A = this chain, B = another copy of it.
Amino acid sequence: MPDEEFVVTPYEVRGRVDYDRLREMFGTQTLGPELLAKLHHIAGADLPPLLTRGIYYSHRDLGPLLDGFANGKPFFLYSGRGPSGPMHTSHLVHFDLCVWLQRRLGVRMYIQITDDEKYWSRAGLTREETAKWGLENLYDILALGFDPKRTHVFFDSRSIAALYPLAIRVARKIPYSTVKAVFGLEPSSNIGWVFFTALQTVPAFWPSWAEGTSIPCLIPCGIDQDPHFRVTRDIAEGLGYPKPALLHSRMVPGLQGDAAMSTTGATADNALFLNDPPKTVERKIRDAFTGGRATVEEQRRLGATPEICSIWALWRTRFAETDQKFDEITRQCRSGELLCGDCKGQLLERVHRFYREHEEAREKAKAWAESTIVTAAPRPL
């Protein structure tokens, strides 16, 4: 998706992303007030920050999915993680939303841990590393509040017996030319990487296949991952499964001001890793890029610019618990009332608290994580 100003592909996000333009280029629908109201009504509760603050802003086919749910047809959630290293706070966006949806709607969650794909797509990683990070990442994900009874994990290298019968059928539907075009693979790309999109597609159909009935799927993901799931949507009907609905988020900017909090081609200082010790978290936040002015005097007079600020993005996605708090921070920032140092101090306190609580929840999740991993196929073909 090259443009004079920004680049967004499933493997790269660069430049200042014009999200509305991107949505138009991808041909997805706006996540507007009407749909949000519908979800609010179905959930019977206030919507979470990720929805009220415009972080999720685009979708495909969410309306029919919610209508179906309202009429007694449950859907399931599907998200995943490529375990290349420790997770950072912006990796939590989709899982946070899934936890909320699972709690409010009682729906099932399927999580794919792609320890095979990360080994194939990152030459520098060993299998031992992707397997180890797969498990570590899984603990982080489950700790966010998933229901052990309704959460199922495909840990690729360990769940292959469960995935493969369906992957065989999916793979026949996807020509190499599609993978090449969508993911920009080169002739030198290894054949595991080429095959992988079949495995990434499987969870979207798996419950329908396993149970021999049609169960809709909702995939919350970054807008950059839309091309991945367009392939999934394109082949769904030919295999007799419903097209998965998608909910697209903006990317969370990196602490250094990059378009996304990514660790690919960036320094570790660009992201808050969940295994960063408190001192490191503090340093990273203190050093983070903000929308502040060159001098205190100027900032008091003109105010700062939250839209370009990495700290404001953290408040927005997770750390301002209430919309009231978020609006206050935003107003004070814009008016010049709140200086960047104080704002960072307030945020830091919340981040530290989250890390402490997360660590506790993570220890508890370890006890039941193994029980969520699906290892057997429900049917032979």
Contact = CB atoms under 8 A, between A and B. Distances in A.
Copies in the complex: 2
A198 B116 CA distance: 13
25 contacts: A116-B164, A119-B169, A120-B171, A120-B172, A127-B381, A131-B380, A157-B164, A157-B165, A157-B168, A157-B381, A160-B160, A167-B192, A171-B190, A171-B195, A174-B191, A175-B188, A175-B191, A176-B176, A176-B185, A176-B188, A176-B191, A179-B191, A180-B187, A191-B198, A192-B198
A369 to B, nearest CB: 15
Contacts of A192: 167-168, 171-172, 195, 198
Given A160-B161, A172-B119, A172-B120, A191 B195 contact: yes
A3 interface: no
Interface string A75-93: 0000000000000000000
User: Which 9 residue pairs are nearest across A and B when measured between Cβ atoms?
Assistant: A171-B192, A195-B195, A177-B187, A161-B161, A160-B164, A175-B188, A116-B168, A172-B190, A174-B191
Interface residues of A, number: 39
Residue picked from A172, A194, A197, most chain B C-beta under 10 Å:
A172
Chain A contact surface mostly: helix
Nearest to A125: B172
Interface of A: 116, 119-120, 127-128, 131, 157-158, 160-161, 164-165, 167-169, 171-177, 179-180, 185-192, 194-195, 197-198, 375, 380-381
A131 to B, nearest CB: 6
Contacts of A172: 119-120, 190, 192
